[in-house]
Amino acid sequence: MDRAGIRLIGWAATLLLLFGVQAKTFAAPSGLFLIPTTEFCPARCYTVEFQVDGSLARRTADSYFVNTEFALTDRIEAGIDADLSEDNSSRLFLNGKVLLIGGPSSSFSMAAGVITMLDEHVDATSFLVGSLHLSKGAKGHVGMIRVHGRNRIFTGFEAALREGLVLMADCIDGPDNESSIGLSMDLKSGVSVMAGLIKPNGGGSFRYSIHLVFSWD
């Protein structure tokens, strides 16, 4: 095995050990509505995402976020996110993700990352995710993340319905977590919108999530 392979295994082992720490919320590494994936934009790509969440029944918005991602290379990205919701005292989040195995044209890829809040009272967490190309335009995702003091399995699926329109669904295991389904649509070059429904696994009302995403190469 060459040195690059040894380094990748080392990264994976280190991040798996980090599952002993806990996060009380998520930042926004690139992925689906709830989970990170192995998706990366090209090196030096920069994205800014405006996110609004709220109650579907009451038709009101109660959570507002500005999420950013910057691809340092084709295999490393990092971001700073801001929670602008009135009832949240922890405002800034950091996230980073590294592609360990594979790439855009690979049938299987694996990535690992870290999520943390800029708050001394909140620990960081880490995640590991694998993605498999199931067919043309379709991918499956599975991974693990620390949620509410437990290691939780997450799964996701995405499929291109046509060019520029993608169906997405994902779920984080556990009654305290959530599942979602929604669509991502390209509006024009460098601009897309995501809209979906989120349902608590333990029961409760549906919530909506809308993301307007701008990207620059």
CATH topology of domain 3-216: Porin (2.40.160)
Query: What was the pLDDT predicted at 161?
Result: 97
pLDDT of residue 88: 62
pLDDT of residue 105: 83
118: exposed, middle or buried (Cβ count in 10 Å: 0-12, 13-18, 19+): exposed
- Is 86:94 a contact under the CB 8 Å cutoff? no
Among candidate residues 31, 30, 29, 21, the one with its CA nearest the CA of residue 147: 21
Quick one: which H or E segment has residue 12? helix 3-17
- Taking only the tens place, the pLDDT of each residue in 111-137 is 999 888 776 566 677 899 999 999 888
Buried b / exposed e over 11-48, threshold 16 CB at 10 Å, is bbeebeebbeeebeebbbbbbbbbbbbbbbbeeebebe
Q: Could you tell me if 168 and 179 are in contact, meaning their C-beta atoms sit under 8 angstroms apart?
A: no
Q: What is the mean pLDDT of residues 87-107?
A: 85
| Alpha carbon of residue 21 to chain centroid | 18
Would you say residue 4 has pLDDT above 80?
A: no
109 pLDDT more than 80: yes
Bridge partners (DSSP) of residue 113 are: 97, 127
The 10s digit of each residue's pLDDT in 28-78 is: 578 999 999 999 988 889 999 999 999 998 888 989 999 999 999 999 999
- pLDDT for residue 121: 62
pLDDT given at position 6 = 39
Given a cut of 80, whether residue 18 has pLDDT beyond it is no
12 has a pLDDT exceeding 50 = no
Residue 8 pLDDT exceeds 60: no
Per the structure block, which two tokens stand in for 124? 């960081």
> Domain residue spans in the chain?
3-216
pLDDT (average), residues 12-16: 40
Q: Does residue 153 contact residue 143 with C-beta atoms inside 8 Å?
A: yes
Q: Check residue 148 and give its pLDDT.
A: 66
- Confidence check: pLDDT of 108 > 60: yes
pTM: 0.83
> Could you report the per-residue pLDDT of 146-191, keeping only the tens digit for each?
876 789 999 999 999 999 999 999 999 999 899 999 999 999 999 9
